[in-house]
Amino acid sequence: MEIKELGHLVLYVSDLDASAHFYGQVLGWRMIFGGEREGVRFSAAAFSAPSNRTHHELLLIEVGKDSAAIPAGRRVGMYHFGLKVGDSDDELRAALATLKEHNVPVVGASDHTVTHSLYVLDPDGNEVELYIDVPGVDWKSDPSLAMAGIKPLVL
């Protein structure tokens, strides 16, 4: 078997409206299904990036506000997922401005040599990496660059 690409991500969320706002209005994904239709409320919402690469890249399923929260600290399970927001620091600065505009705190910022990254938390505490590929870094010829030491990000 050969994996061709990461197809989509499914997250359980406590509050569909809050998460749909975060992924749709703050991060700019296009909702393709969800919310309310013809007076019927759905407990799920599907999103696609503006590129329309596939039918959906993110699915949110509401499990309710009384559901168990993500445990803090080191644990088994997902650490974070990354979303590419461009190919330049100017695009990352624009993403940072949008985060500030929506009062989304940045919980980390890193220079990974191959990427420059900002880290935020979604409404349920899932960590999301917003990154750009650093121009001119040839990680295909030297894959070890992807494991270079982490430096503080200076935008």
Give per-residue pLDDT as tens, 108-128.
Answer: 999 999 999 999 999 999 999
Question: In this predicted structure, what is the pLDDT of residue 50?
Answer: 80
φ, ψ (nearest 5 deg) of residue 91: -70, -35
Strands 127-133 and 80-86: parallel
Q: Which CATH code, of 3.20.20.70, 3.10.180.10, 2.102.10.10, 1.10.1740.10, is assigned to 9-62?
A: 3.10.180.10
Task: Give 48-107 pLDDT, tens digit per residue.
Answer: 988 777 888 999 999 999 999 999 889 999 999 999 999 999 999 999 999 999 999 999
Question: In this predicted structure, what is the pLDDT of residue 149?
Answer: 94
User: DSSP character for 16?
Assistant: H
pLDDT band at 34 (very low <50, low <70, confident <90, very high): confident
Q: Taking residues 133-144, what's their average pLDDT? A: 94
Q: Taking residues 1-12, what's their average pLDDT? A: 90
φ, ψ (nearest 5 deg) of residue 89: -65, -30
Question: In this predicted structure, what is the pLDDT of residue 37?
Answer: 67
Domain layout of the chain by residue ranges? 9-62, 80-152
- Domain 80-152 class? alpha beta
pTM over 0.85: yes
